[in-house]
Structure 1
Amino acid sequence: MTYGFDTLQVHAGARPDPATGARQVPIYQTTAYVFRDADHAAALFNLQEVGYIYSRLTNPTVAALQERVATLEGGAGAVCCSSGHAAQIMALFPLMGPGLNVVVSTRLYGGSITQFSQTIKRFGWSAKFVDFDDLGAIEAAIDDNTRAVFCESIANPGGYITDLDAVAAVADKAGLPLIVDNTSATPYLCRPIEHGATLVVHSMTKFLTGNGTVTGGVVVDSGNFNWSASDKFPSLSAPEPAYHGLKFHETFGPLAFTFHGIAIGLRDLGMTLNPQAAHYTLMGIETLSLRMARHVENAEKVAAWLEGHPAVEAVTYAGLRSSPWHDRVARICPKGAGGLFTVALKGGYGACLKLVDSLNLFSHVANLGDTRSLIIHSASTTHRQLTPEQQTAAGAAPNVVRISIGIEDAKDIIADLEQALAKASA
């Protein structure tokens, strides 16, 4: 039987505990698992049998979460890890090597821009930043050393929607995997695999958990990419010395990337998600569709009100008819453009700081995707490490604030913005 999204977000990956009958997924707070006998232990370590060895690799609570997110995204499998940033490294790790590069969108979260422009250099990797509305520029940036294409479905902070179908076609023509960060959209609003994505990553810290309690990341494997079609991905297609010459793609087929992420990625990088964090995220996902529908409903009302305010220069929300990306909403995010957007103030940098300091209902935090409405001035915080040119390209210019609309009453959100804008423009 095929179940709908609302059913799957509650039930996927969750079964009554066989030992106790517990209906909610238990928190398996354990580091290790007892083997049945010596042969069982050997089979697990040889990847000949699936099971639990050590919680750096696998844990039953985390496994339930992996199954749920993979199911909601329409993927073959998933690997959870400690944060969204960890998920991005986990996604690239089997693909990259010294001297290799990834082509990435200029419209990314500020921390991701820093990770790709600075930190990955320490591994000998590099990133080429391209405007993903210019498909010719993406194609031109791809060379013999490119191993992946990376973008966000709904970009943080500006709410820009990527034309995933068009970008996927470019990546596919080059024989490269497309990695899509689906944090801002969630699988309720967008399912990147249906638009040609090979891998989907999330900061589960945001909308998936939805309550601002824990950090977490996940990499979802579509199972659709042929890792053996060329010699570009030896980690997945060539013999693995640590497992007696096992070839991951040949052995595990559509689950090759998932098994590699656990058996190599988590084993050696150790960016493990703890079971209590997995439990919080599982509970959060149970209400994902309900929350996302309200986020979208509120964001549409608030963005429309802000667009008409005399102190506001521009609102970037793709759900507005005035947005240059509005035509992509129905095709890429048919249930709405999300709850994230930016607002440019006529008063500039100073007015942004005054606005942030004058709000009461909004929380001034470096997070998004919470049930609460959140605000931040990106240029002085999350994007302050970037040059002014990079800030503007990323949608975080000095006169811009990022707003994550919560699930409160829309009239209360608007009232708080109204009084704060009056003070900011006084």
Structure 2
Amino acid sequence: MSDGPTYGFDTLQIHAGSRPDPATGARQTPIYQTTGYVFRDADHAAALFNLQEVGFIYSRLTNPTVAVLQERIATLEGGAGAVCCSSGHAAQIMALFPLMAPGMNVVASTRLYGGTVTQFGQTIKRFGWSAKFVDFDDLDAVKAAIDDNTRAVFCEAVANPGGYITDLDAISAISDAAGLPLIVDNTSATPYLCRPIEHGATLVVHSTTKYLTGNGTVTGGCVVDSGKFDWSASDKFPSLSAPEPAYHGLKFHETFGNLAFTFHSIAIGLRDLGMTMNPQGAHYTLLGIETLSLRMDRHVENAVKIANWLEKDPRVDYVTYAGLPSSPYYDRVAKICPKGAGALFTFAVKGGYESCMKLVDSLEIFSHVANLGDTRSLIIHSASTTHRQLTAEQQKAAGAAPNVVRVSIGIEDANDLIADLDQALAKATA
């Protein structure tokens, strides 16, 4: 698309990054199912490998189908560039990779997806990295956790599983004052509901598996670069500011400016970590994004109706949906997620752990699935599944206590979903 008019979200989700195929005129983005690309000549190949020219070399690094998806997500998020990869977990490692080194740490919210808590709390130790988990509602605690070895601050815009909304403006003010990048996982909100870069985020990560694809068919991840961080302001980020030995002393920030992180993630991150998104997966996600706004409006509409019904039900102890006036995060919705609080939340079932298990087994429309963001409504008992590896204290801090189930509200008829929950709660609490 041209740089002239300013287009609306509904237009950009269909057209951004996409152009008719120059060879055939195909209007839908083709699946470029190829590993390699023929160079024009030896000089062309040398220029590509030396980062003197942008183009396609090998599909571990770049692919035309994936490139369209990268441009589309970057456009929707308001970023300078983006890099897609094989999963949301891959995206998190890709985001940290240029920033961290042995002995360095990331300050992370306690309210995160259980798999992220495990990845940050256990797996990254094998790289010599560490994580400090802090309640991001306690701003003084966030400030206190940052030390000389901190290289990033990490949170979710709408936290999984509870649907808690992070005060991104307050957190970005802290990270800015410390000269650190803020990484925001925007999976649960999507750029339709929340634009973290407008609230100070440096990088935005997605599991494209979820709402962006929206149909439960493929896994994928994406890192969006805001292009606004000065990587050369200190000596904390030598991967981006110092000479790179693999490219004859090239300095990424000096050479590529606001696209320094994006180019580094392709030229070194994908080159050496190999967490590549396949072009067919990118194609499915592109198709999903075309209807993102339509789906998210329905997700939110259904979630509001169902959360209100659950909150009034005597078999339910509490509901964590931020779209309810009773939620302590309700006032943040208008500021952080002006089009709605999403469709992911938890509710506590009277009867505790056993009642939760019975509820999950009694539902008929809701699917018992370890995923979220599908057009279908999904449910899971986090304490026994996605957050099982965590301690009881970590489960509670993450919003995944044993008496709680997580729901991802789909786009079915809301009355049918309420009826399904009603009959399952009757069996679970009998």
- Scaled by the length of structure 1, the TM-score of the pair is 1.00
Q: Distance in 1 between matches of 2:42 and 2:429?
A: 72
Distance in 2 (alpha carbons) for counterparts of 1:406 and 1:145: 42
2:122 counterpart residue number: 118
Q: 1:221 aligned to 211, 225, 244, which one? A: 225
Counterpart among 245, 253, 257 of residue 241 in structure 1: 245
Of 188, 195, 203, the residue aligned with 1:191 is 195
Given candidates 148, 156, 163, the residue that maps to 2:167 is 163
Distance 1:394 1:354 in 2: 23
How far apart in 2 are the matches of 1:403 and 1:37?
55
Structure 2 segments unaligned to the other structure (5+ residues): none
**Residue number in structure 2 paired with 1:345:** 349
- Find the counterpart in structure 1 of residue 363 from structure 2: 359
Deviations 1:385-414 (A, max 9, x none): 111111000000000000000000100000
Q: Which digits, 9 at most, give the CA deviation of each residue in 1:277-324, with x for residues without a partner?
A: 000000000000000000000000000000000110000000000000
Which residue of 323, 326, 335 corresponds with 1:331? 335
CA–CA separation in structure 1 for the residues paired with 2:182 and 2:134:
14
Q: Does 1:204 align with 2:208?
A: yes
Helix, strand or coil at the partner of 2:92: helix
1:79 is aligned to 83
Alignment counterpart, residue 285 of structure 1, candidates 282, 285, 289: 289
From 55, 62, 71, give the equivalent of 1:51: 55
Matching residue within 231, 238, 251 for 2:235: 231
Residue pairs, 1:15-414, within 5 angstroms = 15-414=19-418
How big is each residue's C-alpha offset from its partner over 1:21-66, in whole Å with a ceiling of 9 and x where there is no partner? 0000000000000000000000000000000000000000000000
Cα distance in 1 between the residues matched to 2:302 and 2:386: 24
* CA–CA separation in structure 2 for the residues paired with 1:133 and 1:393: 12
Q: Which residue of 1 aligns with 2:17?
A: 13
* In structure 2, distance between residues paired with 1:384 and 1:176: 32
Q: Name the counterpart of 1:422.
A: 426
Deviation for aligned residue 1:70: 0.1
Structure 1, unmatched stretches of 5+, are none
Distance 1:267 1:295 in 2: 37
Structure 1 residue 103 displacement after superposition: 0.1
In structure 1, what is the Cα distance between the partners aligned to 2:265 and 2:211?
23
Q: Percent identity?
A: 85
Mapped partners of 1:417, 1:47: distance in 2: 56
In structure 1, distance between residues paired with 2:271 and 2:260: 15
The residue identity in structure 1 corresponding to 2:68 is A
What CA distance in whole angstroms lies between the structure 2 residues aligned with 1:219 and 1:132? 22
SS in 2 for 1:30: coil
Find the aligned partners of 1:206 and 1:124 in 2 and give their Cα distance: 30
Deviation of the 1:346 alpha carbon: 1.3
Q: Secondary structure at the match of 1:80?
A: strand
Amino acid at match of 2:343: G
In the TM superposition, residue 106 of structure 1 has moved relative to its aligned partner by 0.1
Separation (CA, whole Å) in 1 of partners of 2:72 and 2:255: 24
Structure-2 separation of matches of 1:346 and 1:422: 11
| Structure 1 moving runs of 4+ over 6 Å | none
What is the root-mean-square deviation of aligned Cα atoms in Å? Answer: 0.2
Instruction: Tell me the distance in 1 between the aligned counterparts of 2:88 and 2:68.
Output: 18
